[in-house]
Amino acid sequence: MIEIQQHTVNGYRHIPVSYKLLHNNRLTSHLAIMLPGSSYHVEKPLFHYCTLLYLQKNIDVLQINYDYHERVEVHSSNELFTAMDCDIQAVLEKVLEERSYSQFDLIGKSIGTIALAQVLSNPLFAQARCIWLTPLLKRREVFEAIKECSQLGYLVIGEKDPNFHSRRFKALSANSQLMTRYIPNADSSLENPNDFFKSLDHLKQTMFDIHQFIKSGDR
């Protein structure tokens, strides 16, 4: 039986940010933290099925629902990154006050990979595994964070994603700790707009990869 706890906590500018903590009734010391994109929310397919995979392995899931279109207005990229960092830290502090975890997986999508790169500086996540869904490879801080990350990781990106960077992807593929997946003709949602069934194939392949990735870290 899955229990869903939905709460809010004051984040950037003291504006409430919502989050969900999903868990089975069995105790676990393992938490997966999901950092969505700006318009790719946790209800969308990649996060929905990823959540189910984690819950099947008795790993709790924390979905942070920051929204910078309606919830809070930001005026620059720097302010956006500051707001994301503030919101995420506020949620993490609240959740970790109430429950104890010693193992972490961090899952970021698109702009959420900037947040993931920032979160990695926290010593709490020194051993965290990372899933980079369509990372912003054209941003140096994201590329460098993935490149310098010594933890186990998985990265998937589509050929038609505007943030795909061929040379940087090839450089990251040489990292033995990082499993990479390049999907021809896929966009930033890992979909092929002209082929419904091919889009389902992309989703299935990505979920299979993540399933294998989760299994590889069984301890």
The mean pLDDT of 122-129, rounded to a whole number, is: 94
Q: Which pair of structure tokens corresponds to residue 109?
A: 């999508």
- C-beta of residue 12 within 8 angstroms of C-beta of residue 86: yes
pTM assigned to the model: 0.94
| Three-state DSSP state, 201 | helix
Say what the pLDDT of residue 27 is. 85
Each residue's pLDDT tens digit, 61-79: 999 998 765 656 666 778 8
State the pLDDT confidence band at 15, using cuts at 50, 70 and 90: confident
Rounded CA separation 42/18 (Å): 12
The structure tokens 């676990």 sit at: 28
In 3D space, the residue among 94, 78, 80 whose CA is nearest the CA of residue 33 turns out to be: 94
DSSP state of 139: S
Model confidence at 211, pLDDT cuts 50, 70, 90, reads very high
Name 71's Cβ contacts closer than 8 Å, sequence gap at least 6: 15, 16, 17
Give the distance from CA 168 to its chain's centroid.
20
Nearest 5°: phi and psi at 204?
Answer: -60, -45
**Amino acid at residue number 21:** L
